[in-house]
Amino acid sequence: EAKGNGKNQVVLFDDSQQERVNRRFVVENELRDAIERDEMRLFFQPIVNDQQVVVGMEGLIRWQHPARGLVPPNEFIPIAEQGGLILAIGRWVLDRACEMLVEWKSDHERQRWTLSVNVSARQFNEPNFIEYLRSLLRRFDFPPERLCIELTETALLNSIDGDLQDKIAALKKQGVKLALDDFGTGYSSLSYLKRLPLNKLKIDQSFVRTLLNDRKDQGITAAVLSMATFLDLEVVAEGVETIEQFNYLRSLGCGAFQGYLFGRPAPIDTFLSNQISCA
């Protein structure tokens, strides 16, 4: 099954060029109304520590399409980014995330969870993104350090250089956490890690997938983890599917893990009942 496995690939449209353009147009039009029709869903996947205890979760969007069913983000986020609809979608995601954090305020266990959300390059590079986030945090009253924003290397790369430092500094000042997503797959230079006040690196799942039988992946992963220690960065390993991968990563000093081994992305009610049944 090719669906949703690759990054940035729109598998829906592997037919002719013309067909692809038409479908994109259709999807874009449908997307325009999808939020108002309440078709967006935020799923949650646990992030655990080296004791496999849940320390947070990542919100992952899906589109509950009336005819096509649950559409994965790789099939509509790239389209939303091109047409600018990503701004409305991104605001919806952040709103939902903040609502959740507020709901958990009085729950002792959930109070300790951090909620991560993906912010696209287009959204992050909006001139008023910082102001938007500031007013959002003011509206919902919770400790901002419980919100983690995940940016990809592309998001950093595409932003105007001087602007980037200021923007990230402003984010930090607000107290939110910042993670560099899919680390190792983009074009970013290591000097970013020195200059930008990030909190976390997420090792891309492509390194984790072949970790146990590929010496190169072992070398890269070990180097990232040792570098992170010196840079005071937390490392989250993505795509952990087996206990062997978990043990190996832990032996290298990795402190946080995400993957099907601990739970698949699920609606919040499923997520919460899984946590209870594990405890």
Q: Residue 236: helix, strand or coil by DSSP?
A: strand
In the complex with Mg ion, which residue's Cβ is closer, 30 or 156?
156
Stretch of 149-157, 159-167, 193-201, 227-235 contacting Mg ion, by CB under 5 A: 149-157
98 versus 155: smaller Cβ distance to Mg ion: 155
Q: How many residues bind ligand C2E (CB under 6 A)?
A: 24
Determine the 3-state secondary structure of 43 from DSSP: strand
Alpha-carbon distance values, 77 to 9, 83, 179, 200, 217 (Å): 10, 10, 19, 23, 29
Q: How far is the CB of 154 from Mg ion (least distance, A)?
A: 11
Q: Using CB under 6 A, pick the residue from 60, 168, 198, 201 that binds ligand C2E.
A: 60
Does the footprint of Mg ion cover residue 182 (CB under 5 A)? yes
Told to check if 114 binds ligand C2E by CB under 6 A, we report no
- Euclidean distance between CA atoms 234 and 50, whole angstroms: 12
Contacts of 97 (CB under 8 A, 6+ apart): 42, 59, 115, 117, 147
> How far apart are the C-alpha atoms of 245 and 216, rounded to whole Å?
15
Q: Give which of 141, 34, 128 is closest to 88, Cα–Cα.
A: 34
The answer to whether residue 150 forms part of the interface with Mg ion (CB under 5 A) is: yes
Pairing, β 256-258 against β 147-152? unpaired
Structure tokens at 161: 């250089």
Q: What phi and psi, each to the nearest 5 degrees, are found at residue 152?
A: -95, 165
Q: Does 25 bind ligand C2E (CB under 6 A)?
A: no
Q: Tokens in use for 116?
A: 């991560």
* Contact with Mg ion (CB under 5 A) among 59, 63, 98, 118: 118
205 is a contact residue toward ligand C2E (CB under 6 A): yes
> For ligand C2E, which is the closer residue by CB, 118 or 188?
118
Handedness of CA 68, 73, 79, 85 (dihedral sign): positive
Rounded to a whole number of angstroms, the minimum distance from the CB of residue 163 to ligand C2E is: 20
Nearer of residues 185 and 218 to Mg ion, judged by Cβ: 185
Identify which of 213, 209, 265, 267 has the alpha carbon closest to the alpha carbon of residue 238. 209
- Please choose, out of 47-55, 66-74, 132-140, 247-255, the segment that lies near ligand C2E by the rule CB under 6 A: 66-74
Per rule CB under 6 A, is residue 78 in the interface with ligand C2E? no
Name which of Mg ion, ligand C2E, none residue 74 binds, using a CB cut-off of 5 to 8 Å depending on partner kind: ligand C2E
Residue 144 CB: number of other CB atoms within 10 A? Answer: 20
- The stretch among 21-29, 104-112, 131-139, 257-265 that binds ligand C2E (CB under 6 A) is 257-265
Nearer to Mg ion (CB atom), residue 30 or residue 238: 238
Site of interaction with Mg ion (CB under 5 A):
118, 150, 181-182, 238
Task: Tell me which residues touch ligand C2E (CB under 6 A).
Answer: 4, 45, 60-61, 72-74, 77, 90, 93, 118, 120, 150, 181-182, 205, 238-241, 258-260, 265
